[in-house]
Each structure stands twice: as structure tokens, then as C-alpha cells.
Amino acid sequence: MTDKVRVRFAPSPTGRLHLGGARTAIYNWAFARANGGTFVLRIDDTDPERSTQENTDQILRSLTWLGLDWDEGPGAGGDRGPYFQTQRADHYRAALRRLAETGHAYPCFCTPEELEAAREQARARGDSFLGYQRTCRDLDPDVARARIEAGEPHVWRLRVPDDHEPVVVHDIVHGDAVFDVHELDDMVLMRSDGTPTYNFATVVDDGEMGITHIIRGDDHLSNTPRQILVFEALGFPVPAFAHLSMILGPDGKKLSKRHGATSVEEYRDRGYLPEAMVNYLALLGWSLDGQTTIVPPEQICRTFSLERISKNPSVFDEKKLEWMNGEYLNAMSDERFSREVLVPQLAAAGLVGRDAYTPERAAWFDLLSSVLKPRTTHTGDVVEKARFLFEGATVTFDEKSVEKNLAKPGTRALVAAARAALEALGEGDWVAERIDGALEPLPERLGASKRKLFQAVRVAECGNQVSPPLGESMQLLGRENSLARLTAAEEIAGE
């Protein structure tokens, strides 16, 4: 790449950052990183009714959480700002002045009623073109100036050159699309209240910010030929375009709230890791080699290329995301899992203090992490799986588990034998391996099935039949509580 890559993500703060927007941001970020380029974040807050500070904050938070650091934009500085469209009014005015001076823009005084009447007439004539009929395009400039000076309301329109070759959009994802300029309206650049339209503001910004590649959703594909005309009129180089196909829900319709959670923060709150989200979303339309599924963010930003973006829509599959999240959780070191997942989750549930991960207790948490990691698909899962460890000498029983495993006749003797065997282990021997070793010979000795004995002890210790492995669970519980729970279980075990 000879020109230094500059890309931008330009969300409108009219809602939260949703999965589609996050994917667009990821592709821009990854493309910048893969090419040693610059990732610009611009806030397209020109819609005053629907843009809110809260949405802006939420978008910035989501991007930060995902790890998509931007080089220029809110909080990051940069010399091509400001990076909020509402702060760029003078840039749009200056750009319009340039276009007016060079004859690329002209004022239009048609009222909405006149525009509608002209459209009706065109329809009545059977005209296929129902856009603006260019009524004011050839007004005498002096007359136009006088009307403006007299305070007559007007918009500014782009003078689409009559003799312009068809506009070719070279889209890296979708290939070339050709547009006849006669199908392209003399569109409004500046409204009568002095605010720029999206197609004008975005081109002024992209041009002034030196954007080399525009990567965005394909809902903007139809705007692109118009924007190309504006780039040309302003004398900016036309950037390269890559329009991303939609993300569909499992029912084949565009992913939306109907399909459940769609905002990034909802996924965060439901226990997904940012790395898993970035990996999963990146693969909704891009692939490393067509088969690798685990591609961590740092690898995405080394290997990302626009050529490997698919033009087919992709389908969001929460099960796959869940699976991927589990893979990322399981791949964490015990220590990282303890610090970033286990302790914060337990603390949020009030089971431990926020600073519980002390040097003295680190080994305990890390052991718990090692047994929970493979059983966790959402960060919050750890709370219910670990709760039995925080109940001291007694445990809350799951009734069904008791019925199936403890209440059956002949169980009491098994629990008593297990307790006797375990009592023989001293405090210093209270480790998973020795605990398992002490229980191991019992089934044969007592003529009971292995399953029956182990499930009875498991329910006695953990309250249910789906706990982490028994030896580790009892080690974590400690000798005293483990033995106390067996004693208590004997009382309710079937004779």
C-alpha cells in the first residue's frame, strides 16, 4: 500500500452500538492495523432529535470494551478534527461556498408544495424520473442572489454535470456498479435551515479527514454514486469503497431487536468476553482462510484484508458465539480467569469481597478456576457453579438430586463409609488426589456401584449432581466442612 491508509467509523448516536455497527468498526480498525494506517472515529451527530449524549457515551464505551482503539477522534485528539459533525458547521459552510463559487452548487427556492406538484406532473406525463426537475438550476445568478438577499428560504443543490460519464462505483466487496448521471438527482447539499445533508457532510468530512477507504454497511451503497459526485466537485480524491453485506438473524431477516439482544453492552452484560465478540463478529463476513474459527483480535489485525470479505449476507448464530466464548474462557490462564472472571463475578454476587484475590488465597481461586473454566460459556455461569463452596458446614440441597441419589435405600451406609475413609486423611493430605484415592476402593469393598457411591457423596458435598469434579470440590471446601456435610447427609440418606 503506497498511500497511508486512513479509515473511519462514523456512527450516528441515535441508538446503542449494535452488532452490525460493531462489525463495521472491527473491519475498519483491523484494516487500519493490518496496513499500519490510521483509524478515525467520527460521531455523525447531525440528527439533533435522535442523537443523544448518552448514546455517544455508550458507543465509546462499547468500542473501548471491545478493544477497538482509535487513533483520532473523541478523547484521542488528531489534527483533522473536530470529530463531531455538530462541531463542523463552519467546514460545511466553507465547502458549500467553494461549490457555489465554482458553479457546482446552486440555490433552489422550490417549496415542498411546488416540488410535490412537479413530481405529480412528471408522473402524469409518464416520466420515469420522479426526482427533482431542476427548476432552479438555470436561474439567473443575479436573480438568485437577490432572492437570497431578500431572505427567501432556499436549499443548495448539487449541479450534477450533464456531460458526466456514467459513475462507476468500484466496490471491493461487490464489484463495479455503473450509474447513469441522469438517474442521479441534483440532490440537496444544504437544507434551508443551514444544516448539511448526510451525503454532503459525510463527503466533506471524509475528504477533509483524508479517508482512503470507506468500509461501511451496504445500506449506504445507493448513496455512493452521489457521494462520488460530491468528492469530485470538491476536488477530493475518491476513496475506495467496501460495502458490507447485512447480518441476518436465524430466520433470514435482517438482524434486529426482534431476534433478542443486539447491543454490544447487552452481550457484555450477559457474560461474553470482548475477544470472543471481536473474533465472532469478524468472521461474520470475513475469513482468515475459510476454515479457521479461532482468530484472536491480534491475529485479525495482522491478517485482515478487504479481499477476503464475502459478499453474501451472514447469519448470526448465538450458539456459535457461545461456543466461541467458552473456548476463549477455557484458554485463559487460571490466574487471569480468577482475576478477570471468577473473583469479579463472585464479588458481584456478594460471595467474596472485591479484593479477595490475595496472595494467600490465589491458589484456592486458581484451583477453582481450573475446574470451572471448561464448564463456563458465559462469565456469570461461575456464580451458580461455585455457590456451594460458600455455604460452610451445610449445603443447600437440590431436592431432585437428593431424591435420586441420597434418599435411595442403602445409601446411608455408603455415605458413612466414605466419611470414615476420608476422616483417615489428615489436614495436610486434604488434596484432590488423596481424596479421590481414599474413595476409589470403596465401591468394590462395599459391593456398591461406583456411580451410586460417588453421586451420593457428590450430592452430600455439593447439593446437586452436576458439580465440578468431586476431589477438587472437596479440596476447595476444606476437610472440616467436607466431613461435616457428610455427617449431615447421613441423616437424610436412605437406610
Of the candidate spans 9-17, 299-307, 386-394, 470-478, the one that interacts with ligand GLU by CB under 6 A turns out to be 9-17
- Span 174-233, contacts to ligand GLU by CB under 6 A: 202, 216, 220
Q: Is 247 in the site for ligand GLU (CB under 6 A)?
A: no
The verdict on 12 binding ligand GLU (CB under 6 A) reads yes
Please give the C-alpha separations between residue 381 and each of 45, 343, 378, in angstroms, as whole numbers. 38, 12, 6
Stretch that binds ligand GLU, among 6-14, 324-332, 356-364, 477-485 (CB under 6 A): 6-14
- C-alpha torsion angle, residues 47, 53, 54, 55 (rounded to 10): 40
Selected from 11, 73, 207, 274, the binder of ligand GLU by CB under 6 A is 11
Count of residues engaged in binding ligand GLU, rule: CB under 6 A: 7
- Rule CB under 6 A: is residue 238 a binding residue for ligand GLU? no
Active site residue 257: yes
The phi, psi pair for 10, rounded to 5°, reads -130, 70
Catalytic residue among 4, 253, 257, 400: 257
Pick the closer one to ligand GLU by CB: 177 or 484.
177
Q: How far is the CB of 394 from ligand GLU (least distance, A)?
A: 56
Pick the closer one to ligand GLU by CB: 109 or 179. 179
DSSP assignment string, 5-44? PEEEE---TTS--BHHHHHHHHHHHHHHHHTT-EEEE-B-
Cα distances (Å, whole numbers) of residue 305 to 28, 33, 39, 276, 282: 10, 10, 15, 20, 11
Distance CA 50, CA 249 (A): 25
Stretch that binds ligand GLU, among 10-18, 54-62, 384-392, 458-466 (CB under 6 A): 10-18
Which residue's Cβ has the minimum distance to ligand GLU? Answer: 44
CB of 16 to ligand GLU, least distance (A): 12
Q: Give every CB contact of residue 416 below 8 A, 6+ residues apart in sequence.
A: 490
Determine the interface stretch with ligand GLU among 7-15, 69-77, 95-103, 276-284 (rule: CB under 6 A). 7-15
Q: Which is nearer to ligand GLU, 39 or 106 (CB)?
A: 39
Checking 111-114 for CB contacts under 8 A at 24+ apart, the result is: 111/153
Residues within window 38-97 making contact with ligand GLU, judged by CB under 6 A: 44
Sheet containing 188-190: order of strands: 105-108, 155-158, 188-190
Task: Please tell me the distance from the alpha carbon of residue 142 to that of residue 199, in angstroms, as a whole number.
Answer: 28
Residues 304-343 that bind ligand GLU (CB under 6 A): none
Q: Where are the alpha helices (DSSP H) in 126-175?
A: 141-149
Catalytic (active-site) positions:
257
Residues that bind ligand GLU (CB under 6 A): 10-12, 44, 202, 216, 220
